[in-house]
Amino acid sequence: MVRDRILIDTSIWIAYFKASNPAIVELVENIMTVAEICVPRVVLAELTQGARTEQEVFAIGEFVGAFTILDQKDETWDKTGKLSFQMKRKGISISLVDCYIAVIANENQCKLLTLDKHFKEIKRFIKIELFE
């Protein structure tokens, strides 16, 4: 049986670690039992950047070993720039990091779990499946 690959975005991890939304905590814990959890290195960088203590930085480092870490391919940044360019030509300005996350999800056939609504806009320009 092939397990789904789920790319969990920074917004979900923040809600999970803060335990601010019990539904998110339950969802992530359920997904961990049935799917392959994938995390791009840029999400790890965002989490580390937002850490408030050395303990949080340590916890993020420990967390890395539990999941599949996604790295870029040779053409990832080129695709990211082109995606951002296409969107800006249509008057849609999305952060380069979020365009990168969409490209990584596409390249690795991952469903994307996020709280960020703008990924619905990105989906109009690149084939990604949002986990709902």
pTM for the structure as a whole? 0.91
Q: Is it true that domain 5-126 has CATH number 1.10.3720.10?
A: no
Per-residue pLDDT, averaged over 37-54, amounts to: 93
Is pLDDT at 30 greater than 90 in this prediction?
yes
User: Would you state the pLDDT for residue 1?
Assistant: 56
Each domain of the chain, given as residue ranges in start order, spans 5-126
Q: CA distances (Å), 18 to each of 27, 56, 63, 67, 120, in order?
A: 14, 11, 15, 19, 25
The backbone torsions φ and ψ at residue 76, rounded to the nearest 5 degrees and listed phi first, read -60, -50
pLDDT given for residue 18 in this prediction: 87
Tell me the mean pLDDT in the region 34-60.
93
Q: What pLDDT is attached to residue 124? A: 96
Tokens of 35: 């799917």
Tens of pLDDT, residue by residue over 76-90, are 999 999 999 999 999
- Res 19: pLDDT: 85
pLDDT of residue 80: 98
